[in-house]
Amino acid sequence: MPKITVLPHIEICPSGKVIDNVPVGSSICKILLENHINIEHACEMSCACTTCHILVREGYNELLDMEEDEEDLLDRAWGLSPISRLACQIKMPNVDLILEIPKYSINHAKE
């Protein structure tokens, strides 16, 4: 089974983390949360916000194409990049991923 490497994030995952044996097809957001990486997910993973925005540093091309609603929401994400995705909308492919959680998120409920 593939693994996820999460790069260090000063607040959410200061030392970074490697998650081994990630089941193919599982939600990236759920996997992160289950492994104590408390990524924001203000809309409870319903694709209604951008708080679970991540950058897929390796493995991006192996992800399924994004749906139109994810693409529209990402336009509002802080630090948008060509390798941006919403963790709640992507499923684990059969390859290792390296993820970066952006420094900031836009969470109106938190601000």
Per-residue confidence band for 107, with pLDDT thresholds at 50, 70 and 90: low
Q: What is the pLDDT of residue 109?
A: 45
| Domain boundaries of the chain, sorted by first residue | 4-100
Task: Say what percent of the chain tops pLDDT 70.
Answer: 94
Condensed to tens digits (0 to 9), the pLDDT of residues 51-99 reads 899 999 999 999 999 999 999 989 888 889 999 999 999 999 999 999 9
Q: What is the pLDDT of residue 67?
A: 94
CA distance 15 to 108: 27
CA distance 66 to 40: 20
CATH code of the domain occupying 4-100: 3.10.20.30
- Is residue 111 over pLDDT 60? no
- Is residue 110 over pLDDT 70? no
